[in-house]
Amino acid sequence: MRRAQRLRRAGAYAAAILGTYVQLADPAAARAADPETASPGPACPDSEAVWATVVLLVPSEAERLLAAKPRVEIVDAGDRYRVRVATDTGTLERTYDDPTRDCEKRKRFAAEFVVVSLLPPQLGVSPDATTSASSQLHGGWPAAAATIDLPGVPSGSTPAPPPATPSPATTAPVVKPPPPERTSESTKDSGSTRPPFLRIELSAIGEASPSVGAPASLAWGGDLRARLGRGAWSAVAGIGYLPNASFNVGDFSGNVNRVPAVAGVRAEVEKRYLHVDLDLALSAAFERYEGVSPHIPSAATRVTPGLELGVVASPHALFGLAPIAGVRAAWFPLTQELAAAPQGNLGSTPYLWIGAELGVSLELGGRTR
């Protein structure tokens, strides 16, 4: 009896030693015998990389897919890998053979299988959604044809397709992505053109000086201005000419010729149908005063600095042209005395000129995007 027990123990030890030797000598055979055993080293495919690809395939369902992450199992078994998805109707499983261990290919196939399992066509996802997205991500590689193992269905068989025309009650509505937002610059001119860089304005102007400490005068002439720049702020410069504005002080008559020049900044306020420009500029006016008979004619000239504020409005340009209208006021704080012989002091030069303009503008430098 003791001898038989010793023989049985010796046989068990020999079998254990032999099994250990086989596993150490042929690891591939051991992995083949146990396909569930994970391969040593980094996982191929990596689970996080698979889920990043899943989100890229169907961005609109990213939250729903990530919520199902605990129900998805991805196992790397060396020459093959397995993807198992637990759904509401059962467990779907697919095993892929890949001796070359192409991790990029494994990641893509696993992601496509997860999307198809969690978002089947009958739940409102287009059958071509994952195929088209995968083609964009991976240069048009064909999607993997997965074999799905369902409870009660033999492994390797193809389940019956969903009904061709689902009922309206089970069809999910198709949600269209919102249109892209328009930038502030593209809103101008329906997003097709850039604002012009140069705008030239030619106007007929009329200016009057009030009779407050100075003789009243009314002048008519023309004005040429240019705006440089595009956007809400730009530079503006111009020059005007107003000849032979007459004035009277008692029985004395005289004329004044004015050439005002300006340089400053312009702020643009765009309305639905109008452009409204606000000008603030430094001004320098060349003025020549002349006496008229019956007294002995006399003349004097001066150059005086000042400040001008104006408002110009115009509709949107058509072929670069648009009518303009505006008002302006120029203030010249440095006045000088007007005197004639034998009348003596006649007052001072005007310190305020108020005017209006009407003309046309030409826009240059705009271009199609």
pLDDT at 297: 62
pLDDT at 208: 92
Same CATH topology for 47-138 and 194-364: the answer is no
* CATH level 3 topology of 194-364: Porin (2.40.160)
Pick the CATH number of 47-138 from 3.30.160, 2.40.30, 1.10.760, 3.40.50: 3.30.160
Residue 28 has pLDDT above 50, yes or no: no
Adjacent-strand bridge partners of 323: 360
Strand order in the sheet with 80-86: 72-76, 80-86, 91-97
- Name the pTM for this structure: 0.46
Q: At a CB cut-off of 8 Å and minimum separation 6, what does 269 contact?
A: 275, 276, 277, 278
pLDDT at 94: 86
CA distances (Å), origin 171, targets 87, 121, 122, 151, 226: 19, 10, 7, 25, 62
CB–CB of 227/266 below 8 Å? yes
pLDDT at 153: 42
Which tops the pLDDT comparison, 290 or 165?
290
Residue 128 has pLDDT above 70, yes or no: no
The DSSP H or E segment spanning 56 is helix 47-57
Q: Where are the domains of the chain?
A: 47-138, 194-364
Express each pLDDT in 175-196 by its tens digit: 555 555 554 444 444 445 677 8
